[in-house]
Amino acid sequence: MYFVFPGGSHNRFEHSLGVCHLAGKWIRILAEQHPRWITNREILMIEVAALCQDLGQGAYSHSFEQI
């Protein structure tokens, strides 16, 4: 991140909020296209799932994925 965007910052909190935001945008677009298939409750469930998707990750756990 720092090599591509020297002034940029990215932490787990920002990542979680970004994932939640993008998942919410995505599911709302689908809901507009298919209103009978997707309920407001399902939209909320997608957003909560996106927000929680990294809860089980330990500190620096991505560093060990190649091992």
Query: How do the pLDDT tens digits run along the chain, 67 residues long?
Result: 556 777 777 778 888 899 999 999 999 999 999 999 999 999 999 999 999 888 877 666 666 666 6
**Assigned domain for 7 exists:** no
pTM over 0.95: no
**Assigned domain for 46 exists:** yes
Token pair listed for 65: 């994925």
- The number of folded domains in the chain is 1
**Assigned domain for 4 exists:** no
**Assigned domain for 49 exists:** yes
Domain extent at residue 31: 12-55
**Assigned domain for 44 exists:** yes
